[in-house]
Amino acid sequence: MEQTALMLLLCLCSSALSDEVRLAAGRSRCGGRLEKEDLGDWKPVKYWNWNWNITSAAVACRQLHCGSVVSIRRDDDDNVQIVCSDSVRLVQGTNRCSGRLEVKTNQSWSSVCEKDFDLQDAEVVCREIGCGPPSVLQGALYGEPEAPVGSREFLCEGSESALLNCSSRKSSVRNSCSPGQAVGLTCSVPIRLVGETSRCGGRLEMLHQKDWRPVHVWTSYWDKNSTAAVVCAELDCGSAVSARNSEKASKRPVWLISSACLNSGSALRNCLPGDGTIDWSHEFICSDSVRLVQGTNRCSGRLEVKTNQSWSSVCEKDFDLQDAEVVCREIGCGSPSVLQGALYGEAEAPVGSREFLCEGSESALLNCSSRKSSVRNSCSPGQAVGLTCSGPDNIRLVGETSRCAGRLEMKHQEDWRPVEVWGGYWDKSSAAVVCAELDCGSAVSVRKTKEASERPVWSIFTDCLQSGSALRNCLPDNGTSDESLEFICSGLLVEPLIFLSSSTDGVSTARKQGSELLIGSDFSIMCSIRPQYEGGSFQLIFSSSNYTLNHTLPAVNHSALFLFAAAGHAHQGTYRCVSHVYVFSHNFSSMSQPLNLTVSGKL
């Protein structure tokens, strides 16, 4: 059955099959149950695996010579139901709610001249194709028309259900429309965030079948690094700051969205919603007017700032570390770690001419003082601000003497709780994600331990990790469990220290630039480590251009002293301490920074 549905989807992408599909039992030939001809019989197309979305439906509408997709859903018997607009469509847009307007009359499509179309007409078109109200109306916004330009002026009042229900008259432009005047229309997207003071924060809702409802993702997860970023980008808000599930007092109608649609790369607005009821909703906070783009994660990228509804990059000369601290805080990341021009590519958006003068404590960049830039809107190539903030510190291992071993906990909604895996299991691969995120090396082991009683936990979907998302970006649910996950990572030991002392100049610590001894001096090298585990040993490794030697001594009080007599030129080279310890049924090692030793003088 699934193979049949897949084959149909492939067939719909062919331009020669418009006579093999139809929409039946609808109010017009452009709406109803999708059917496919099979050996002379018309059979409904089933929607078993939720792979249908607006993009798929648009192919069907086009093959049937109908207009834009208005809606797609599956009915109670699992059949695909599609409604296309009869006589209007938007083409060559960036999504189904934008494009150059074309109107169908006498079975042919034609563009509309800008002089014959106004905002009230646009309101009708946006409503007719199931989108939000018009946001941009401009000639040539989506290219020059390939179809002819019509000679009909529309006179909508704004409340009509379809453009062809509006009054009209012969165009005064007499079928003449100058280049650049074919109507380009952008309708607002049928998703929104509500319940906060800003349109860029709140409960996620979607408009479908003229009904605004909360959105719930079916059988999967939200994460801040990818899914939330999609929502913020679709709303033309900035970077994703936070995402959470909010419980409600009772169940209410929601639109159910398949995670497979989002994971396929489809925009949320193009996913097929299904009916459902649930007692919680997804809530997002996006930064209103700053975003990091083309970075490796949500806390890095080239900085862009939104002013007057347009985004522009920032010149490196107009931005300093205090400004960076504000931006990192505003997008919910840690402190800035790297600030450098062209770190994340050249600016595609214009470079602004505004110098920011933050004190560092402001909650948002646009709350900072600013002044006209001294660089006069001129920014040399390679000087657009690239920023890397540290990731949010919201996962940890606790209960052992090392931060790289213990019970896994996550901080969410200001509450630290153990982590429970929902819908799968932990293996070495999953554990490796945790150890890598904590900068603790590779995974040595992971196990479940039983607690005396159930307690609150944060539940995580395993497919969030399997999607490549970092654990710290997965959105957890409330839960209770009497189990904990305990990890041991290879970076269990802290870094040992290495010290040099001699009979002539006392004690000095290792320095990258090296330490110098007089020839003939007695000297010693001490290896030590902060107390974590008893026992173990220290290995002193010496390397020079000629050879490598190593010596090992047992650890006594977490240190070992290596003695040398009469320093000679043969002692010149690099020394390192390696701490070894056997704990948790495994051997662990950690290496110190190098000590570069030179020997000067003559015997």
What is the DSSP annotation of 255-308? EEEEHHHHHTT--GGGBPPEEEEEEEEEEEEE-SSEEEES-SSTTEEEEEEEET
The reply to whether 363 and 423 lie within a common domain is: no
Nearest-angstrom CA–CA distance, 221 and 223 = 7
Nearest-angstrom CA–CA distance, 263 and 227 = 9
**Which burial class, exposed, middle or buried, applies to 291 when counting CB atoms under 10 A from its CB (0-12, 13-18, 19+)?**
buried
Q: Final residue of a domain: which of 355, 372, 389?
A: 389
The pLDDT tens digits for 85-139 are 999 999 988 778 889 999 998 888 999 999 999 999 999 999 998 888 898 898 8
pLDDT of residue 16: 34
Given a cut of 70, the residues of the chain with pLDDT beneath it are 1-19, 47-53, 147, 172-176, 218-226, 259-260, 262-265, 272, 349, 374-378, 423-427, 466-468, 504-514, 603
Chain centroid to Cα 485, Å, comes to 26
Q: Final residue of a domain: which of 269, 286, 303?
A: 286
pLDDT of residue 546: 81
Nearest-angstrom CA–CA distance, 513 and 170 = 85
The reply to whether 401 and 377 lie within a common domain is: no
The reply to whether 430 and 508 lie within a common domain is: no
Query: Which phi and psi (to 5°) does residue 600 adopt?
Result: -120, 165
The reply to whether 429 and 467 lie within a common domain is: yes
**Which burial class, exposed, middle or buried, applies to 525 when counting CB atoms under 10 A from its CB (0-12, 13-18, 19+)?**
buried
The reply to whether 384 and 302 lie within a common domain is: yes
Give the CATH number for residue 181: 3.10.250.10
Give the CATH number for residue 548: 2.60.40.10
Nearest-angstrom CA–CA distance, 519 and 568 = 5
Instruction: For residue 322, give the nearest of 346, 294, 356, 354 by alpha carbon.
Output: 356
The pLDDT tens digits for 236-278 are 899 888 887 787 778 999 988 876 676 666 778 777 677 889 8
The domain in which residue 308 lies consists of: 290-389
The reply to whether 308 and 365 lie within a common domain is: yes
The reply to whether 354 and 410 lie within a common domain is: no
The reply to whether 385 and 312 lie within a common domain is: yes
pLDDT of residue 562: 95
pLDDT of residue 147: 65
The reply to whether 74 and 113 lie within a common domain is: no
Q: How many CA atoms lie within 13 A of 195 on its CB side?
A: 12
Q: Final residue of a domain: which of 229, 260, 286?
A: 286
Tell me how many domains the chain contains: 6
- Is the overall model pTM greater than 0.75, yes or no? no
Query: Which phi and psi (to 5°) does residue 543 adopt?
Result: -135, 140
pLDDT of residue 533: 93
The reply to whether 299 and 267 lie within a common domain is: no
The reply to whether 109 and 32 lie within a common domain is: no
The reply to whether 180 and 206 lie within a common domain is: no
